[in-house]
Amino acid sequence: MSSIEQTSTQPPPRGDKRLVRQSANRASYERVDLYHVLDACPIGHVSFVHDGWPQSVPTAIARIDDHLYLHGHPKSRLYLALSSGERVCVSACRVDGLVKARSAFHCSMNYRSAVVFGTGELVGADDKPALLDRFTERLIPGSLDDYRPYLAKELKGTALIRLGLDEYSVKIRTGDPIDDDEDLDLPHWAGVIPIESTYGSPQPSANLNTAVGVPESLLAGVDP
């Protein structure tokens, strides 16, 4: 785990890997913003260094209390890197809208992004079942009461990794385009086209017994 705990909400010093240098006015170093972004992103891009190359792997992530969790096969390259204490970076981003300005130069996107640096540690067997439950519930809200129990071989075959949220930065853009003052009266449209991500109706599996309905809790969990 990192020895530097990020308790300050001030920008880190010049040269620090967390420091957001571009559009720094959109940066945040506040934990509440970090949680907000991570909780909106089901996928994180985990990067590590392998054979001299940066390597990034998209994978499911879940923020639970003060840690970020990832799971997978214990023999995968990603989990070997994470469990052996290699330095990793996890980035996550959600796009909320296209920002059209009067000039192409000032076009942008509205987004929420986070970058976390750290080293992973394997979750032990005692803590694993309860944390896997919370992981599942984060990814498929409302589904937790609708599974058969874990098999011993499943618990053994799933590596659950915990990453401290000690070193991070957050970047968020919201709102209108920011055009040059001299462009404001040009006859070009400016504004935001929202991007909305919603759950569709649950589609039953082809082999589902037709007598089995969708649990109420799952319907509530994926209700927009």
Tell which positions 23-62 bind a copy of itself, by CB under 8 A.
42-43, 45, 47-58, 60
Residue 136 binds to a copy of itself (criterion: CB under 8 A): yes
Q: How far is the CB of 4 from a copy of itself (least distance, A)?
A: 12
Q: Of residues 63-82, which lie at the interface with a copy of itself (CB under 8 A)?
A: 72-73, 76-77
For residues 145 to 184, the per-residue mask of contacts with a copy of itself, x marking binding by CB under 8 A and - elsewhere, is -xxx-xx--x---x-----------------xx-x---xx
Q: How far is CA 107 from CA 28, 103, 125, 171, in A?
A: 22, 7, 49, 17
Question: What are the structure tokens assigned to 122, written together?
Answer: 């394997």
Q: In terms of CB distance, is 58 or 124 closer to a copy of itself?
A: 58
Sole binder of a copy of itself in the list 39, 140, 172, 173 (CB under 8 A): 140
CA–CA gap between residue 63 and residue 112 (Å, rounded): 15
Q: What are phi and psi of 143, to 5 degrees?
A: -95, -10
Q: β-pairing, 53-60 with 67-72?
A: unpaired
Residue 216 binds to a copy of itself (criterion: CB under 8 A): no
Sole binder of a copy of itself in the list 93, 121, 122, 172 (CB under 8 A): 93
Interface with a copy of itself: number of residues (CB under 8 A)? 94
CA–CA gap between residue 137 and residue 150 (Å, rounded): 15
Binding span for a copy of itself by CB under 8 A among 4-12, 24-32, 62-70, 213-221: 213-221
Q: How far is the CB of 105 from a copy of itself (least distance, A)?
A: 4
Q: In terms of CB distance, is 65 or 156 closer to a copy of itself?
A: 156
Neighbouring residues of 79: CB distance < 8 A, sequence distance ≥ 6: 72, 73, 159, 161
Q: Is 200 helix (H, G, I), strand (E, B) or coil?
A: coil
Sole binder of a copy of itself in the list 10, 25, 126, 196 (CB under 8 A): 196
Sole binder of a copy of itself in the list 89, 159, 161, 163 (CB under 8 A): 89
Q: In terms of CB distance, is 93 or 122 closer to a copy of itself?
A: 93
CA–CA gap between residue 176 and residue 107 (Å, rounded): 10
Q: Report the first-to-last Cα separation within the chain, whole angstroms.
A: 36
Neighbouring residues of 65: CB distance < 8 A, sequence distance ≥ 6: none
